[in-house]
Amino acid sequence: MSKTFRQLIQALAIACLFGFSLTSHAQDLASNYPNKTVKIISPFAPGGATDILARILAQKLGEAWKQSVIVDNKSGGGGVIAAAEVARADKDGYTLLLGSVGPVEVLPKIMKKVPYDSEKDFSGVDILVNVENVVVVNSQVPVKNIPELIAYAKANPGKLHSGSSGIATTGHLALEVFNQQTGLDIVHVPYRGGAPMATALLGGDIQMSFSTVPSVIQYIKSGKLRAIAVTGDKQLEALPDIKPIKDQGVPGYRIGSWYGILAPSGTPTAIINKINGELGKIVAMPEVKSKLMEQGWTTTHTTPAQMNKQIQSEIQEWKVVIDKAGITLD
């Protein structure tokens, strides 16, 4: 056996041992995770739909792991404050982001200074729910469908104000696309979450909203708000009598969103996979599926790789929407 061949064999053996050591270390990390409190950073104010989802996840994860899992609400900036905190957190799986389209896919494309790069600073864990928006009006607006809304807005230019849970959230984008496609000038008013926006809408500070279904469904069912359209391509099980915008004279209109868990990029794959596995079990629980459906969520479950691929694809799709709508922020 030549000296060169022996050296090659030794190098391969060392590489195999090193690879085994890394695999073993990753398995140890996952088997011991979590051994302290896990924090889910929620980007919106307490009491809104996102907060409800975050607390369901925290409760169920805590029960499964027999470890404390808490929700930390970091509202403001359309979710940028929360996302930035997770981006710079330790890469150990103990600080997670309840992310959504706004802070992950949209804001980095429309703001000049965002303290993170979504594709480089986050690792997708699991997309848990899909959610559409619903167009709601209060009693000040005498309309029952989209054609009537368009006619009213044209007859009262600048008088309609539509609230959202933050800048560049789907509630904001849905309005901007609607304005673009109809030639209207409905004014956008951002709030620090779905709960304060709903309060303003009920109180008459604003007249309407392209809200996520979970944030206003209780008010629709109680008759306090009137739903006139949904933003997806079909009617929802939670709102079976409400037609999509595209079927009410604005063909091609479709806006949807998702919520899911992300970790700081560099978090060990074994830990990400462990979290993903538990989340999949949670959204499959009948009581969880039922509660989320009542709120207007549609549950789903992806692999981390599928989530990363979807985010990368949608970033490009939203860029087209943003450029067409002319949305920019300082």
Q: Provide the pLDDT confidence category of residue 215 given band limits of 50, 70 and 90.
A: confident
Identify the band that residue 11 occupies on the pLDDT scale cut at 50, 70 and 90: low
Token pair in block for residue 154: 């044209």
Partners of 33 in the β-ladder: none
Instruction: List Cα–Cα distances, 101 to 57, 105, 311, in angstroms.
Output: 19, 5, 8
pTM passes above 0.85: no
pLDDT of residue 278: 98
The whole-number pLDDT of residue 97 equals 98
Q: What is the mean pLDDT of residues 171-200?
A: 92
CB atoms within 10 A of CB 63: 12
Radius of gyration of the chain (CA): 23
- pLDDT(42) > 90: yes
**For 222-230, what is the mean pLDDT?**
97
Provide long-range contacts, Cβ within 8 A and 24+ apart, for 181-188.
Answer: 181/250, 181/252, 181/253, 182/150, 182/153, 182/250, 184/150, 184/153, 184/154, 185/153, 185/157, 185/158, 186/153, 186/160, 186/161, 186/162, 187/158, 187/160, 187/161, 187/162, 188/161, 188/162, 188/164
Instruction: Output the CA angle 276-266-262, nearest 5 degrees.
Output: 40
pLDDT at 322 over 60: yes
The tokens for 174 are: 């849905």
For 118-147, write each residue's pLDDT tens digit.
999 999 999 999 988 999 999 999 999 999
Q: Is 259 helix (H, G, I), strand (E, B) or coil?
A: strand
Q: How far apart are CA 192 and CA 173, in angstroms?
A: 16
Domains of the chain: 30-131+257-325 (3.40.190.150), 132-247 (3.40.190.10)
Q: Do 263 and 272 touch, CB atoms closer than 8 A?
A: yes
**Tokens representing residue 117 in the block:** 């790069």
Question: What pLDDT is stored for residue 5 in this prediction?
Answer: 59
Residue range 40-62: average pLDDT? 91
C-alpha–C-alpha distance, residues 21 and 171, integer Å: 48
